[in-house]
Amino acid sequence: MEKNKLFREKINKIFDTDNIVFYDGECPFCSNYVMLSNIREAYKGLKIVNAREYKEELQDFFKYFDIDEGMIFINSSKIYHGAEAFRRINMIANYKDFMFLKALFFVFKFKSFSNFTYPLLKIGRNLTLKILRKRKIF
């Protein structure tokens, strides 16, 4: 059986859905992004989960899709990680009046640009976690 399918089945048993975003709840950028993007409003039935709260239960999943290297977006039968997860979330987000986030949407809809820019965002995240004396999830 395919590894992704096994992960999706396990996650579905825990959360009773297969439409989930996993993020780092101790990262101020990740937390604010998830809140400000209003993806819960835009995507009915989507669960947004702080990965740190399920570190033990989903350890094999979070190591396979390295949660410290990027968000994870599960959309029914697909698992997206890192730049692609961020890009997909941007495609469904509802930014309302946040001009910065609207600019992110425009920029990250282009796959080549998101693949180039996402590593820079990760560097900023990792530096911020270090300054705040927060540990990575794994």
pLDDT for the residue numbered 74? 94
Sheet holding 78-81, edge to edge: 47-50, 19-23, 72-75, 78-81
Whether pLDDT at 60 is above 90:
yes
Q: What is the CATH number of domain 3-131?
A: 3.40.30
pLDDT for the residue numbered 95? 65
pLDDT digits (tens, 9 = 90+) for 3-35: 888 898 899 899 999 899 999 999 999 998 888
Residues in the chain: 138
Residue 2 DSSP SS3: coil
CA 117 to the chain's CA centroid: 15
pLDDT digits (tens, 9 = 90+) for 125-134: 999 999 999 9
Ordered by start, the domain boundaries in the chain are: 3-131
Q: What is the C-alpha to C-alpha distance for residues 49 and 124, in angstroms, rounded to an integer?
A: 22
